[in-house]
């Protein structure tokens, strides 16, 4: 099976850059900025990239990663609707998006092994962290963080990334492990996500998380002490849930249980889920032709 991973910035360090490199490293598949005619399948790491760059080049079948769907953003809806008929197979990381495509292949995202349980970094005040790059579409829901910063007396809100209405204490990829080690609670405020990765990284670091229901693959995480849930977009419930999470000090064995909850999200399983998924899909497609 000759798969070519297509991605325009394979040397970058944003999330999709890293996912593409990780997949190539653990499968031996080629990674190029352009499709290859000799491939059995060209696989674009984003349906958005495929929709924006695609011409009439269809000498091999295409697959793409359909990470998330933003129906209320017209240009992003257009990208989804443009890319979908161009692909024979669609990879997804969340079951909710697998229900929206014709030939879904479920894959497990890889949590980088650098995120693990180490000695905590102590702070003068309890810290609630948010992570990511805030987009103009508002899907990260930064406004809810601004309200929380005003209403939460028992902790400070700190951010890694850009665009948050909070104190930024990290903007580098290399600083992420230490960022999580400082937190008492990780908070996800996203309204629409493909995964998202930061809650998984926080759990791998033994940090409790407060996450919204029905967002990305977060409903697929187990019901576990230290994984707190609130209704997506509901500020009052989110505030109460964060306050509840901050009431407890987590013991080492409880942090180990949080880490174990994401133990399957490894680079190896990222590769295996792709390999087995594409093997089954190509075999089935060959049988049907």
The proportion of the chain whose per-residue pLDDT surpasses 70, expressed as a percent, equals 97
> What confidence tens digit (pLDDT) does each residue in 220-242 have?
999 999 999 999 999 999 999 99
Given a cut of 70, whether residue 50 has pLDDT beyond it is yes
The pTM assigned to this predicted structure is: 0.94
Given a cut of 80, whether residue 57 has pLDDT beyond it is no
Band of pLDDT at residue 288, cut at 50, 70 and 90 = very low
How high is the mean pLDDT of the chain?
93
Contacts 24+ apart (CB under 8 A), 273-278: 273/105, 273/106, 273/107, 273/108, 274/3, 274/23, 274/27, 274/91, 274/105, 274/107, 275/1, 275/27, 277/89, 277/91, 277/105, 277/106, 277/107, 278/1, 278/3, 278/41, 278/43, 278/63, 278/89, 278/105
Average pLDDT over residues 202-208: 97
**Cβ(60)–Cβ(39) under 8 Å?**
yes
Backbone angles phi, psi at 185, to 5 degrees: -145, 140
> What confidence tens digit (pLDDT) does each residue in 243-274 have?
999 998 889 899 999 999 999 999 999 999 99
**Cβ(25)–Cβ(5) under 8 Å?**
no
Lowest-confidence segment of 64-68, 98-102, 284-288 by average pLDDT: 284-288
> What confidence tens digit (pLDDT) does each residue in 5-18 have?
999 988 888 899 99
**Cβ(269)–Cβ(108) under 8 Å?**
yes
**CA–CA separation, 31 vs 7, rounded Å?**
7
Given a cut of 60, whether residue 287 has pLDDT beyond it is no
The proportion of the chain whose per-residue pLDDT surpasses 90, expressed as a percent, equals 81
User: Is the preceding peptide bond at 196 cis, omega within 30 degrees of 0?
Assistant: yes
Q: What is the predicted pLDDT for the residue at 56?
A: 53
Q: Which residues pair with 210 in a beta bridge?
A: 187, 228
CA atoms within 13 A on the CB side of 9: 9
Given a cut of 80, whether residue 109 has pLDDT beyond it is yes
């Amino acid at each position: 099976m000759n798969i070519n991973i297509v991605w325009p910035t394979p040397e970058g360090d944003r999330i999709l850059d890293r996912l593409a490199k990780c997949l190539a490293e653990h499968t031996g598949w080629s990674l190029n900025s352009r499709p290859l005619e000799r491939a059995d399948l060209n696989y674009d790491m984003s349906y958005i990239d495929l929709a924006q760059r695609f011409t009439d080049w269809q000498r091999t079948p295409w697959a793409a990663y359909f990470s998330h769907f933003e129906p209320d953003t017209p240009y992003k809806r257009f990208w989804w609707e443009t890319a979908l008929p161009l692909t024979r197979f669609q990879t997804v990381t969340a079951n909710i998006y697998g229900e929206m495509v014709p030939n879904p292949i479920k894959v497990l995202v890889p949590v980088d092994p650098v995120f693990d349980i180490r000695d905590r970094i102590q702070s003068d005040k309890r810290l609630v962290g948010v992570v990511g790059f805030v987009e103009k579409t508002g899907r990260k829901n930064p406004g809810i963080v601004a309200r929380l910063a005003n209403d939460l007396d028992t902790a400070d809100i700190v951010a890694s990334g850009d665009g948050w209405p909070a104190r930024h204490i990290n903007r580098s990829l290399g600083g992420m492990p230490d960022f999580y080690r400082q937190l008492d609670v990780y908070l996800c405020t996203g309204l629409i996500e493909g995964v998202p990765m930061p809650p998984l990284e926080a759990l791998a670091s033994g940090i409790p998380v407060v996450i919204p229901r029905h967002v990305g693959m977060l409903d697929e995480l187990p019901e576990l002490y230290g994984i707190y849930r609130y209704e997506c977009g509901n500020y009052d419930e989110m505030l109460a849930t964060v306050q509840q999470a901050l009431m407890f000090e987590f013991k080492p064995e409880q942090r180990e249980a949080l880490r174990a909850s994401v133990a399957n999200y490894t680079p190896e399983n990222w590769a295996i889920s792709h390999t087995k998924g594409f093997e089954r899909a190509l075999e089935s497609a060959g049988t049907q032709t």
